[in-house]
Amino acid sequence: MRKIVLLFLSFFIFSPAILTQTIIENPEKPLSKNAGRVLKLEEIFRINDIGADFYFKRPMKLKIASDGSIFIVDEEQLLKFSADGKFIKNLYKKGEGPGEIARNFYFSLYKNDIYIYDRSARKIIHTDRDGNLIEEFHSKSERYRDFLGITHDGLIFKKYSFALKERKSKLYDIEHTLVLVSKDGETEKEIQVFPVKTFLAPQAIATWAHFYSTLSDDRRYLFVSHTMEYLIKLLDLEKGEVTRIFNRKYRRIKYVKEWMKEFLKKHNGPGKKYENDILSLFICKDHLWIKTSTKDKNKGILIDVFNKEGKFIDSFYINLKGSLVATHEDFIFVKEQDEDGNISFVKYRIAE
């Protein structure tokens, strides 16, 4: 009997399912003595469709390859540009045949290749950087909601569903499941689940918390934010587990969007007091940049900087005329729109 009790106690003490992970608590101010400064930016070039062989409709994601070439997603367009911003070609091929895309798609870059996920056809297209087809295969699972990136072991997708038996006009923890798909499509493996609070009513859906993620430069780790509060989880993709959780003391920003308040009132939703603390994640020189909800009318948006160990090492403001969409070495890319609605992607050098 005593042995059984001891075995039970040992399981209770050492079981990883029971142990709770310690959160690395960072102070409100970072380690840098120069924190809170405004970064000086120098414009390098602009990409726009004025007099070009392409037309911006609703351009979205921008990614930079290891050779500096630039790729921008738009409606029925996967536009490739040289490292100095010159338009090269549209890699998008509409259709249902080999290498063709039916409609909605996501893409990611890996070494010299491009992986495209055609969400409508549930297939993965593998090409070189010039769009030449190497192979394609269909996913064995249901449609994925997002394509998060590529590791050395496979492709990371995210799936979730709002298919509940009933919606009672309240907040639900919707499970966002990360799936690792091998590069040949032969195996699919669920690696982690992150709950994301979402408001669901019988005839309405509203994002409450947001899911943001970004891969480390070595592609081993995925930084994830999935709560309204200031919290980051570091997912070790080789181990398939969260190995680090960290945050910092943060002065929350009051929620002021009147249209959302009216929407929630109409659908009998709960009140929302604060903005989400974190608005986006980026990797710059192997450090994590966090775009926060803090905004100063003179200084711009506040960016926090953490290292892989979860230490809050720096913060600064960037005064932008648009939205930050990518970082690369000593540069950032910003999506801007002028008074006439013309869209530009601007490359800036960080002067300091």
- CB within 8 Å of 190: residues ≥ 6 apart: 177, 178, 179, 180
In a domain, 274, yes or no: yes
Domain extent at residue 272: 22-51+148-352
Q: Do 72 and 198 have their domain in common?
A: no
Cα dihedral sign, 252-256-259-265: positive
- Residues 132-168: tens digit of each pLDDT: 999 999 988 778 999 999 999 999 999 999 888 788 9
Residues 155 and 72 placed together within one structural domain of the fold: no
Question: Judging by DSSP bridges, how do beta strands 221-225 and 232-236 pair with one another?
Answer: antiparallel
SS3 label, residue 12: helix
pLDDT tens, position by position, 183-195: 988 899 999 999 9
Write b or e for each residue in 183-219: b if 16 or more Cβ atoms lie within 10 A of its Cβ, otherwise e: bebeebeebbebebebbbbeeeeeebbbbbbbbbeee
Cα–Cα dist 238/222, whole Å: 10
Q: How far apart are CA 202 and CA 166, in angstroms?
A: 7
| Per-residue confidence band for 20, with pLDDT thresholds at 50, 70 and 90 | low
Whether residue 205 sits in one domain with residue 166? yes
User: pLDDT tens digits for 68-93?
Assistant: 999 999 999 999 999 999 999 999 99
Q: How many domains does the chain have?
A: 2
Q: Structure pTM?
A: 0.91
**Contacts by 188-194 with C-beta closer than 8 Å and gap 24+?**
188/139, 188/140, 188/141, 191/156, 191/235, 191/237, 191/240, 192/235, 192/240, 192/241, 192/242, 194/224, 194/226, 194/233
169 is a domain residue: yes
**Angle CA(215)–CA(219)–CA(221) in degrees, nearest 5?**
65
Tell me, yes or no, whether 211 and 315 share the same domain: yes
Cα(202)–Cα(129) distance, rounded to whole angstroms? Answer: 45
Q: Of 138, 161, 180, which closes a domain?
A: 138
Same domain? For 169 and 125 the reply is no
Instruction: Please check whether residue 155 lies inside any domain of the structure.
Output: yes
Q: What is the mean pLDDT of the chain?
A: 91
pLDDT at position 167: 87
Average pLDDT over residues 238-250: 96
